[in-house]
């Protein structure tokens, strides 16, 4: 019963965040709705369930920054709304991101520093599946393995679409779990990256022995059927007619 109540609360938060994100996109003339909507549930679960006060969160795919910034405002921080994040530690933004492939290396640095200082807090970093095509990602995993960074949690938004095409058409990432495992990274596979019930069942971050990657299989544009799995919504600005369509879905 407790899990069902938690799931319902989180679902309501996710719907509210989608509505707020849509409004921000429309009022700002902003794009990147697809990748923002795919990671709504990831953001909600991390900030309202997993993240402790002493932990750090880094958004590497910060072209999808709006939901993250809205959550920070809900938590009484006051960062400026912008597409690509700039460091603002007092408002819980710990590094400048936007150039893909940079957030994970910076997170490695934070996690290693914490380990050297014997700090117990964790570092969470949210990366895109497109970033798993970047060499810096795999170099970072070599470092994470070398220093046994069991305080590092890598969250992968695996929506399988990048920019104007699918991952398979661009540069396939077959067996992403096996790729992480080959670098001695533990993996948790969330088959439905929008299911809080599955997250609650599978994610246990106590007594980790090594770096852990959580792979969330998500849907780009999730929540607005007309937009889902369409690469055009990676960076398309919302027109009035499309805004009205989206609002009908998000009731």
Minimum mean pLDDT among 9-18, 105-114, 159-168, 180-189: which range?
159-168
pLDDT at 1: 65
Domain containing residue 95: CATH number: 3.40.50.970
pLDDT at 147: 97
Residue scoring higher pLDDT (82 or 68)? 68
pLDDT, tens only, 43-60: 999 999 999 999 999 999
How many domains would you assign to the chain? 1
Residue listed under structure tokens 């699918």: 166
Annotate 65-80 with b (16+ C-beta within 10 A) or e (fewer).
Answer: bbbbbbbbeeeeeebe
Global confidence as pTM: 0.96
Is the pLDDT at 99 greater than 80? The verdict is yes
* Average pLDDT of the residues in 102-118: 97
Separation in Å, CA 88 to CA 79, 82, 85, 94: 7, 12, 9, 6
Give the domain range for residue 128. Answer: 2-249
* Average pLDDT of the residues in 146-158: 98
Residue in 23, 97, 34, 21 with CA at minimum distance from that of residue 236: 34
């Amino acid at each position: 019963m407790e899990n069902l109540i938690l799931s319902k609360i989180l679902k309501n938060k996710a719907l509210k965040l989608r509505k707020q994100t849509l409004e921000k996109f429309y009022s700002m003339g902003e794009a990147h709705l697809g990748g923002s909507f795919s990671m709504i549930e990831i953001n909600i679960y991390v900030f309202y369930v997993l993240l402790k006060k002493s932990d750090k969160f880094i958004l590497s795919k910060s072209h999808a920054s709006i939901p993250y910034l809205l959550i920070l405002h809900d938590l009484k921080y006051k960062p400026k709304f912008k597409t690509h994040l700039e460091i603002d530690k007092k408002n819980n933004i710990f590094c400048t991101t936007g150039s893909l492939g940079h957030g994970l290396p910076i997170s490695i640095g934070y996690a290693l520093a914490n380990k050297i200082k014997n700090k117990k807090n964790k570092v969470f970093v949210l990366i895109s599946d497109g970033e798993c095509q970047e060499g810096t990602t795999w170099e970072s995993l070599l470092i994470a393995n070398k220093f046994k960074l069991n305080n590092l949690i890598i969250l992968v938004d695996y929506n399988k679409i990048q920019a104007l095409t699918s991952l398979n058409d661009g540069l396939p990432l077959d067996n992403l779990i096996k790729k992480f495992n080959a670098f001695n990274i533990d993996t948790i596979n969330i088959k439905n990256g929008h299911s809080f019930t599955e997250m609650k069942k599978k994610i246990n971050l106590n007594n980790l022995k090594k770096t852990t990657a959580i792979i969330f299989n998500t849907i780009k544009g999730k929540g607005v059927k007309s937009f889902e799995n369409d690469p055009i919504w990676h960076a398309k600005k919302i027109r009035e007619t499309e805004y009205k369509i989206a609002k009908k879905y998000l009731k």
